[in-house]
Each structure stands twice: as structure tokens, then as C-alpha cells.
Amino acid sequence: MKVKRLKVGVRPLEEGLQEFGETLKALQTGKTPFKQRGVYFVSVEAMRRVLTPSRLTLLHLIRTRHPRSIAALAKLIHRDFKNVHTDLKLLADLGLVHLEPGARMRDSVTPTVPYERIQFEIAV
């Protein structure tokens, strides 16, 4: 069984812009761009501001305890629902968490972490 991993790291802005340019060029010429999976930040400070200890704890609890809703996760971690929801929205925007809606309109949203490992990568 293959382990699902996600790379999270720091890259200079120039490198990110170069990759964007290569992707744009490939799309304009009708080629399939190289898809690189990962979440990258422009500095260690930016990464630390986003991946705070409380957000990393959320990722761990979702992966290990499988809460059925955001409210259940908030109760598990003893934090306010609104703050947990805000953190999960940010993590979902980065692709670190999936927020799966319930079958019916009023059902809870279930947070899941689709990765077994998150690898941190920092160039020196």
C-alpha cells in the first residue's frame, strides 16, 4: 500500500514564479503541465505563521481521532468552534484538510486529512 505524502516547504518567490511561468507556457502551447504536489511558502516565517502548533494539533487529531464534525473536533481540543472553523478553512484552502459536507443540507461537515505523512522541506 502506497503512503500518501504531501511536501510542505520553503521556496524563494522567484522559484515559484518560474514554475508558474513554465506551467502557463505549457498550457498556452497545448501541452500538459508538470503537476507538482506540495504547499510552499516564501519564508520560514511565513510557514510558521500559517502552520502554528494549534493547527498542527488539529491535523494530528483529525488523522488519529476521526471527529465526525467541526463541533466534535472543537470539543475534543477544548477550543471555540469559530476559531477551529477558521483554522480548518485555512488548512482546507492549502489542501491540507478536506471538509466533506454531510448527505443532507443540515448535516455536519466532516474534516479529514488525506495524507498519512506531511514532509517538511527547507532549502539551505
| Residues 78-91 pLDDT 10s | 999 999 999 999 99
C-alpha to C-alpha distances, 97 to 27, 51, 110, nearest whole angstrom: 28, 13, 10
CATH class of 5-122: mainly alpha
The per-residue pLDDT for range 94-118, each reduced to its tens digit, is 999 999 997 766 668 999 999 989 8
Q: What is the pTM of this model?
A: 0.79
Q: Are 58 and 49 in contact (CB under 8 A)?
A: no
The residue ranges of every structural domain in the chain are 5-122
The alpha carbon torsion through 52, 84, 98, 11 (nearest 10 deg) reads: -20
Residue appearing with cell numbers 454531510: 102
